[in-house]
Structure 1
Amino acid sequence: MNIRKIIKISALCFAFGNLSAQNPWPKTNDTAKPWTRWWWMGSAVDEKGLDKQLTTLSKAGFGGVEIVPIYGAKGFENNYINYLSPEWMKMLKFTTNKAKSLNMGVDMAVGTGWPIGGPQVNEEDAATKMIVQTYEIQSNEKFSEKIILKEEKQKSLKTTKLDIITAYNEKNEAVVLTDKVNADGTLNWMPTSGKWTVYAVFTGKTLQKVKRAAPGGDGYTLDHFSPTATKDYLETFDKAFENSNYGVRSFFNDSYEVYNADWTADFKEEFRKRRGYDLSPYIKYLISDNESEIAGRIKSDYRETMSELILHNFTENFTNWAHSKNSKNTNQAHGSPGNLLDLYAAVDIPESETFGSTKFDIQGLKRNLEDINTKEVPDINMLKFASSAANITGKPLISNESFTWLTEHFKTSWSQVKPEAEQIFLSGINHIFYHGTTYTPADVQFPGWLFYASTNFVPENSLWPNIKGLNSYIERTQSVLQSGKSDNEILMYWPVYDQWSNPKGKDMAFKIHNIEKWLHPTAFYENLEKLGKSGYSLDMISDKLIAEAQLENHEIKVSKSGGSYKVLIIPQLTYLPESTLKNILNLARNGASVVFQSQPKDVPGNVEVEKRRNELQSLWRQIPFQQNGNVKSATFGKGKIVLSSDIKKGLELLKIEREKLTDTGLKFVRRQFDDGKYYYIVNHTSKEISQNIPLNFTGRQVVVMNPENGEFGIAETQNNSVRIQLKSGESLIIKISKNGDSSLPKWKYIEKTEEPVVLNQPWNLTFKEGGPELPKSRTLDKLQPWTNFTEDAQTQSFSGTGVYTTSFKLNKKADDFILKLDKLYESANVIVNGQHAGIVWSLPLEINIGKYLKKGKNTIQIEVSNLMANRIRYMDQHKIQWRNYHEINFVNIDYKPFDASDWKVQPSGVDGEIQLIPVYYSK
């Protein structure tokens, strides 16, 4: 082994950690690295192309791929491979074998495009809806019209049937007439008085087909509420896979986007079995926007039934099927008409999704309004539905479909990706999937094949040379966040029945795209926001999970491998099932601490309401509340119950401590491991934070770890506080251990800096790679972007890498030197005296280069990679065909036809000053 390889291996061990005592970083693996959704357009893949792209992804720091076949590119139809055909399965096996050789993992979607469905979904198994027709009947009048389906598209279907017929008079008295209709639709009933409206409910089909389907994947979407439909659907995969999983780590199901699916063939029977009464006499209240109390109660029971059906008939069966293949499953529950917490908890890897761009206060962070969708903003509390279910039930991985439509195509920089990734991590998620990467055959020209809704994490992206900076940061961070288990101290009940009891609408899908309707206006959300910003760590819990919870050392646990919680919060609500209150009181009796924000007002649903309401009130009266300052409290068995409109006061009474570090504006998430705890801390404020911050957990040793470059060292501590230095946009990890390692070095705190050396001498600018053509080289009297040279048309259209080079003499001595860039468009590889010094890809635009400098003459090369935007602009201006796909072809962020020809030239290169700042560390 030569000396260069030894140096390379040493650097890798330093950056990512191993099991040696001198390195506090957890051992890394494929799941610690970011994965990417990998679209196979038309499944037009071959072994050569698969080999090349997997190798490229591996070198760039990816840990795995998630295969999702979609529609294809025009002109390549002869290369299409039908989904799950023998040839397709051969390509899958080649992929998993190649990935294994690269220490990568492979997931795959159980379907093409989305939502789940395909040619194996026959009419009977297809997504189902109720179709309602109404008729007017006068007393003593023979009803001559036949009660048959009027909708033309439904008439030709074999599976449509009449489910319920109920008549209502003007007093809302109901008569169920379902058994009064002949096979030909003739109604054998005549009212003797009054005017009647007849409601006829038919079982129909949505006729929705798979969106963006790949060859061999087209067909109806699935009826998620039918166990038979789920079983039939998965049998197609049983046939294709036989007794193997083909090396697939996890089978993936995308978000539920099945429109108008609000019924199933045996819904009436399932409703009776689960809710204890016949829905038929109440069908009017289900299908109308009548805002009466009974309408809310009927709809609550209907929505709860829908939730149970999708949980038991689809989600749990999907999990069991994946396990039968010795694989895991991944499921996006959001969008489902069900309790998201229960659905996420029922799978191996719960997966959430971010869509759009967040406004951060980070200094210098670019967020151009014309390049973003201002209607879609990721919400950290929406992400917590997935992480909460995983944390409570002890699932080690929580994944996220990340950066969907972060900005307009070709305008996303890695510096914009970083804070979005950090927000995902702060929600408790630890397994990022980029959205995404498109397979491109080797002979397809720039920009390759692209998917219309993604941030383009593709090798053809001109920013690709520096993606390792982003990927390494995510790898180090996820190595910590996948260690041990979550360390949240609070559970907050999600009052889903307040949502389900809304008398408006019918089915209720909890989507990420309408949280302003169902999540934001609630007291539940207000509490999540306030408590999170105050420094409390929370997970959400459902009725079902409360029923499964037990007490262990006065802490609430749902699963042996899951989190332990000090307190359960019941936010202000209207509806609480008496069974849930009973379970809450049992937890308190056994030692739990509980905070109620208000007294529950009522029970949900429409069965034995008065009896259940009395039981709820009787249970509440068992709590012997006493006035305790501004709150009421009660000792209840071995536990304590607090009633307080101000939850913070309730938590203070119970001595639940918040992390006061959030007073500085810092954000954090905490993990516990056998010997201590990790704090992942992020500065999304506009200011530098350099001070001691308090931490609730103390240990023998505190180590600071930098996830951006892998450096670490023993921290300075004082009175349960840790000294930190974080500039705007930076993050760090604090590892607190009960034991510790005395061989670790001290953390390098900057004690002072001296007047910077400004590198304002001439620079040479050359161009290394990119297109459509390399601009000519030039000498610059002052640093500036290459796009400033408007007289050279090639600089305006170029996307790729330009190299700024200069030499300078250094006579000054210091502990270190920080290379600080004023403006960078968009990322840079820095080479000092022929040695790779690192990548500048995120804010602040700084890098430590002292160890590469020498006394006397030094040479610096800054290899700057810009956005793809200018080259795409050039191609559209010159009518160069690059988007030519079936289905949606290609759209912009507003889902309109994409055209970059009128874009402004995006600045590219370096601008302003470059400074070399002498740094002195504390001794």
Structure 2
Amino acid sequence: MKIKNIIKLSVICFAFGNLSAQNPWPKTTETAKPWTRWWWMGSAVDEKGLDKQLTTLSQAGFGGVEIVPIYGAKGFENKYINYLSPEWMKMLQFTTNKAKSLNMGVDMSVGTGWPIGGPQVDEQDAATKMIVQTYTIAPGEKFSEKIVLKDEKQKNLKTVKLDIVTAYNEKNEAVVLTDKVNSDGILDWKPNSGKWTVYAVFVGKTLQKVKRAAPGGDGYTLDHFSPEATKDYLKTFDKAFGNSNYGIRSFFNDSYEVYNADWTPDFKDEFKKRRGYDVSPYIKYLVGNEENEIAARIKSDYRETMSELILNNFTKDFTNWAHSKNSKNTNQAHGSPGNLLDLYAAVDIPESETFGSTKFDITGLRRNVEDINTKEIPDINMLKFASSAANVTGKLLISNESFTWLTEHFKTSWSQVKPEAEQIFLSGINHIFYHGTTYTPSDVQFPGWLFYASTNFVPENSLWPHLKGLNSYIERTQSVLQSGKPDNELLMYWPIYDQWASPKGKDVTFKVHNVEKWLQPTVMYKNLTELSKIGYSIDMVSDKMISESKLENQNIQVTKNGGSYKVLVIPELTYLPESTLKNILELAQNGASIIFQNEPKDIPGNFEVEKRRTQLKSLWNQIPFQNQTGNLKMASFGKGKIILSSDVAKALEYLKIEREKLTDTGLKFVRRQFDGGKYYYIVNHTSKEINEFVPLNYSGKQVALMNPENGNFGIGEIQNNSVRIQLKSGESLIIQASENTDITIPKWKYIEKTDTPIVLNQPWKLTFKEGGPELPKSKTLDKLQPWTNFTEDSSTQSFSGTGVYTTSFKLKKNKADDFVLKFDKLYESAKVIVNGQDAGIVWSIPFEINIGKYLKKGNNTIQIEVCNLMANRIKYMDENKIQWRNYHEINFVNIDYKPFDASNWKVQPSGLDGEIQLIPIHYSK
């Protein structure tokens, strides 16, 4: 049993529960397995279909589903079921009962499509916006125009009202006139002198409706800033669910994509209560485009108020409601006009999202430019907002909507999914949800019902027979990443007030899709990237979290069950609330280590500016900095230390905070602690092979190496707190460093040398097992090649499914310890059968598998069952104008959101190509 440098081992076929007692892998759970978003198109589901698909998902290694009803397929309208109707609830109950029998979990969306809303959202509770009209009053002129809303779309709405009226003269002197406008819109005011501009703010509605709504789910989107709107919305679920949660583990809310929602009916009152002053005299600065200090301060206060409203009036209420149902809740905070860290932390399961394709340096990893969206690249630091919130506050699970638009439809292989999943894990996330799987009735022909924007994790996918390989990898990895507690040593403050103080625009939403505007240009981002690269583990922290922090054993801790941190880093910033600085100094007083990159320049907001500015300066001046070598200042402050340095890495070195030097090799890691030891999850995303002793900050008394791809494990070699690692490009490894020793665990099998490869260049027989539109004829191959090379047989060009390559060879007596079957080119994955025995699945780079224990002296037979992409069959269907996409709403689009058409695609190579080598290997003794 081993992992190794040259070898990509197969997935072993026994379950975790059957492994021996000496097995170091944590016990698996349903949450350790991957889950998938399960779209119910038109909610046209029935018990037979639900039973079949849940069983199929379970057999493929899924631990649960997340039900999201959406628009339906045309021609099936008579089978649609209205969302939350008695019939729909009956289907939900059947689903949860069946899932329970399969040891699977079920989550569901609190709404259809996204963002949340529906028929229960009346005009009063609908997403709200401010509508601004301006008027001019000339000197000495009596204003005769009525101040009434001119927007034709809003005129018939009953809830539209005039909220603020403020006039400004040429000296920017303001007069609030709200109470001088009567119900007919007549202004009873005449200025004494000068030219005046009147700003009238109306409470209007965005009129946005739910996108991709399912039957029974259409309607306005919700006003997330109104507690009454949230309460009213959830009443519909109370009525449908009664006193039961119907077996739902967690209620899910998708990303905030409510457009132009920048107000709420009682915003003016909430602003005054929270910020300490009336916004009415300053409305010009909020709605205008002036780029000056007063505008920046007003907008900062406005954005902070919006953040508090969505946190307190929606997110926390959503959590409390889910708990009242004895369930959890899951929320995607990104896109919200609020502090993402606080919003993620306010729910049971924070959920992030990946969208697009990452460029990895992994040797042989395919990334065709024509098949990806080059504008959307997942960002690991964006993912860390969700994991940071969870780690800091002690949440056990951090989920991720994974692989959305990873490549063009039908062109994603499992080998392309794996490094994206690894990047998600490296960000600290431990609960992957595939995006996704679509329910399909059993009588619907290939390719079944499909969602417009997914990587197609559906049983109709020709790669489905080998999905268990990917799923088992994720299951093993997540079993470790869901164990113990996070073990990150640094806290990085998010200077959100620098973002909120921008005088440009009005509301600020922190989206996944525009990190290049709000996240990547920041100094915090640079710090996160550079410090992670040199081996530090970091979580981000908010002002609110700092205010709740305490010192435990000289480490900073926000909650009892949360992470424990050695240092708080305050990156270079302009604005810092005096209250936050006070809280930071209290932490230092009690023994914390703090690093400032610069002296805070100012306080945010527009309330009592000079007083608060003086307080900030006074607090800062309490720090008795002394110059040190290397452009660094240090102050002993109470029991703690405060460092002032633009170079955070040097400051950490001064504080003797050790980095993990294993990153010097190019390896990436995430670390967790458990009772008596630590786990390291290590990934090689470089183009090189790693074969050396790698240093660990913690090695314990015994180090076990664990291969998440096949479950193999063994005791590793240690020298001077370094462990010997053999990893090829694209491979990963888990290290369990423990204070306990277990002599029953075997030694890890390191490859010491390899003998001359045996090239399997004899003739091969190619047959076809399953797939369509029709099975090509069998062929005898003089040399190994893809079946798509045989252009004279048109069926090979359109076939998507499984082709079987078979050959026999003689093996002379050989003293090798094992043999590795190495593929040169594999399109896309393969099940290997040696002498009638299942040796495993080859689905990820470097496309290798150990088969030594299945070989025998003399004649041997190898069958390689290769699955290719769906692309060629879809191309054939579009070329022949075979109707397969026929949906309401958006129907079906390509990666650029244009109508989908595969008729002009190139035929995708399918099968085996190049050489297949059988490599004799010898393990170190």
Give TM-score, length-normalised by structure 2.
0.98
The residue that corresponds to 2:253 in the other structure is: 253
Contact map agreement 2:828 2:843 (CA 8 A) in 1? yes
Structure 2 match to 1:394: 394
Paired with 2:85 and 2:666, the residues of 1 have a C-alpha distance of: 54
8 Å Cα contact 2:12-2:710 kept in structure 1 = no
Asked which structure has the greater RCO (Cα within 8 Å, sep 6+), the reply is 2
What do residues 86-132 of structure 1 show as CA deviations (whole Å, max 9, x unaligned)? Answer: 00000000000000000000000000000000000000000000000
- Map of 1:590 onto structure 2: 590
User: Which amino acid letter does the alignment assign opposite residue 872 of structure 1?
Assistant: I
Counterparts of 1:406-805 in structure 2, within 5 Å, are 406-630=406-630, 631-805=632-806
Q: What letter matches 2:173 in structure 1?
A: E
CA–CA separation in structure 2 for the residues paired with 1:366 and 1:878: 29
Partner residue, 2:919: 917
Corresponding letter in the other structure for 2:572: Q
Q: What CA distance in whole angstroms lies between the structure 2 residues aligned with 1:190 and 1:532? A: 63
- CA change 1:19–1:442 in 2 (3 A) is closer
Q: AA paired with 1:299?
A: K
Q: Is the 8 A contact 2:435 2:454 kept in 1?
A: yes
Matches of 1:96 and 1:15 in 2, distance apart? Answer: 23
Q: Shift in Å at residue 19 of structure 1?
A: 8.3
User: Is 1:274 the equivalent of 2:268?
Assistant: no
Partner amino acid, structure 2, of 1:458? V
Q: 1:906 aligns with which of 890, 905, 908?
A: 908
Partner of 1:218: 218
User: What is the aligned partner in structure 1 of residue 91 from structure 2?
Assistant: 91
Structure 2: how far apart are the matches of 1:19 and 1:476? 13
Name the CA distance, whole Å, in 1 between partners of 2:741 and 2:167.
75
Q: Describe the SS at the equivalent of 2:221.
A: coil
Letter in 1 for 2:732: S
1:830 maps onto 2:832 in alignment: yes
Letter in 1 for 2:562: G
Matched residue type, 2:770: E
1:316 equivalent to 2:316? Answer yes
| Aligned equivalents of 1:775, 1:904: Cα separation in 2 | 19
Q: CA deviation at 1:693?
A: 0.3
Q: How does 1:298-337 map to 2 (within 5 A)?
A: 298-337=298-337
Q: C-alpha offsets along residues 627-653 of structure 1, whole Å, 9 cap, x if unaligned?
A: 111210011000000000000011011
Question: Structure 1's 380 and 18: CA in aligned 2 closer, same or farther, altered over 3 A?
Answer: farther
**1:821 equivalent in alignment to 2:823:** yes
Displacement of 1:742: 1.0
Give the whole-Å Cα distance in 2 for the aligned partners of 1:234 and 1:180. Answer: 39
The offset of 1:492, in angstroms, is 0.2
Q: Secondary structure at the match of 1:155?
A: coil
Mapping for residues 846-857 of structure 1, pairs under 5 Å: 846-857=848-859
The secondary structure found in structure 1 opposite 2:153 is helix
Question: C-alpha deviations, 1:854-901, integer Å up to 9, x for none?
Answer: 111110000000000000000000000000000000000000000000
**Corresponding residue for residue 137 of structure 2:** 137
Q: Which amino acid aligns with 2:131?
A: I
* Partner AA of 1:466 in structure 2: H
Alpha carbons 1:414, 1:842 under 8 Å: kept = yes
Q: How many residues align?
A: 913
Q: Distance in 2 between matches of 1:627 and 1:787?
A: 70
TM-score w.r.t. the length of structure 1 is: 0.98
Once the two structures are TM-superposed, the CA of residue 740 in structure 1 deviates from its matched residue by: 2.2
C-alpha distance after superposition, 1:604-660 (max 9, x if no partner): 000000000000000000001001112100110000000000000110111111000
Q: Write the distance in 1 (CA, Å) between the matches of 2:611 and 2:837.
A: 78
Q: Please tell me whether the aligned partners of residues 138 and 191 of structure 1 are also in contact (alpha carbons under 8 angstroms).
A: no
C-alpha separation between the residues in 2 aligned to 1:203 and 1:18? 63
Instruction: Name the CA distance, whole Å, in 1 between partners of 2:696 and 2:12.
Output: 31
Q: How much has 1:208 moved relative to structure 2?
A: 0.1
Find the counterpart in structure 2 of residue 4 from structure 1. none
> In structure 2, how many angstroms separate the alpha carbons of the residues matched to 1:485 and 1:808?
51
Q: Percent identity?
A: 84
Determine the C-alpha separation between the residues in 1 that align with 2:19 and 2:504: 58
Q: How far apart are the structure 1 equivalents of 2:891 and 2:179?
A: 51
The amino acid that maps onto 1:707 is P
Matched residues in 2 for 1:15 and 1:912: separation?
Answer: 34
C-alpha displacement of 1:277: 0.0
Q: CA-to-partner distance for each residue in 1:473-496, whole Å, 9 max, x for gaps?
A: 000000000000100000000000
Distance in 2 (CA, whole Å) between partners of 1:375 and 1:577 is: 35
- SS of equivalent residue, structure 1 residue 88: helix
Q: Residues of 2 paired with 1:618 and 1:667: CA distance? A: 42
Partners of 2:228 and 2:524 lie apart in 1 by 37
Q: Contact conserved, 1:139 with 1:190, CA < 8 A, in 2?
A: no
CA distance in 2, matches of 1:738, 1:673: 11
For residues 325 and 628 of structure 1, the distance between their equivalents in structure 2, rounded to whole angstroms, comes to 57
* Long gaps (5+) in structure 1: 1-10
- CA shift for structure 1 position 12: 7.1
Q: Would you say the 8 A contact 1:120–1:236 is kept in 2?
A: yes
Q: Secondary structure at the match of 1:842?
A: coil
Q: CA deviation at 1:21?
A: 3.6
TM superposition shift of 1:698: 2.3
- AA aligned to 1:650 is A
Cα separation, 1, equivalents of 2:287 and 2:249: 43
Amino acid at match of 1:366: R
Looking at structure 2, the residues matched to 489 and 283 of structure 1 have their Cα atoms a distance apart, in angstroms, of 44
Secondary structure of 1:304's partner?
Answer: helix
2:61 partner SS: coil
| 1:96/1:106 contact within 8 Å kept | yes
Q: Which secondary structure state, in structure 1, belongs to the residue aligned with residue 913 of structure 2?
A: strand
Supply the AA of the counterpart residue of 1:190: K
User: Aligned partners of 1:89 and 1:301: how far apart in 2?
Assistant: 44
Amino acid at match of 1:915: Q
- Distance change >3 Å, CA 805–CA 20, structure 1 → 2: closer
Q: In structure 1, what residue type is equivalent to 2:899?
A: P
Aligned to 2:289: 289
Alignment correspondent of 1:3: none
| Distance apart, 1:22 and its partner CA | 0.7
Query: Are the aligned partners of 2:523 and 2:572 in contact in 1 as well (CA < 8 Å)?
Result: yes
Q: Please tell me the root mean square deviation across aligned C-alpha atoms, in Å.
A: 0.8
2:117–2:219 contact (8 Å) kept in structure 1: yes
**Which amino acid in 2 is paired with 1:259?**
Y
Give the conservation status (yes or no) of the 8 Å contact 1:575–1:603: yes
Structure 1 residue aligned with 2:867: 865
CA-to-aligned-CA distance 1:807-827 (integer Å, 9 cap, x gap): 000012310000000000000
Preserved contact between residue 268 and residue 279 of structure 1 (Cα < 8 Å): yes
SS in 2 for 1:517: helix
**What CA distance in whole angstroms lies between the structure 2 residues aligned with 1:360 and 1:725?**
20
Distance 1:698 1:728 in 2: 24
- Provide the residue aligned with 1:5 in structure 2: none
Q: Are the structure 2 counterparts of residues 22 and 534 from structure 1 closer, same or farther at C-alpha, using a change threshold of 3 Å?
A: same
Other-structure match for 2:7 = none
Q: 2:895 & 2:741 partners in 1: Cα distance?
A: 50
Contact kept, 8 Å, 1:15 with 1:710, in 2: the verdict is no
Give the secondary-structure state (helix, strand or coil) at the position aligned to 2:796.
helix
Kindly provide the amino acid, as one letter, of the partner of residue 481 in structure 1.
Answer: L
- What is the letter of the counterpart of residue 177 of structure 1? L
Distance in 2, Cα, partners of 1:19 & 1:195: 84
Measure how far apart 1:192 and its partner are. 1.4
Residue 17 of structure 1 and its aligned partner are, at CA, apart by 5.5
Does 2:910 match 1:881? no
Asked if 2 retains the 8 angstrom alpha-carbon contact of 1:140 and 1:191, the reply is yes
Q: Which amino acid aligns with 1:47?
A: E
Alignment check: 8 A CA contact 2:704 2:737 kept = yes
- Code of the aligned partner of 1:557: Q
Distance in 2 (CA, whole Å) between partners of 1:237 and 1:785 is 53
Residues 1:150 and 2:150 aligned together: yes
In structure 2, the gaps of 5 or more residues are 1-10
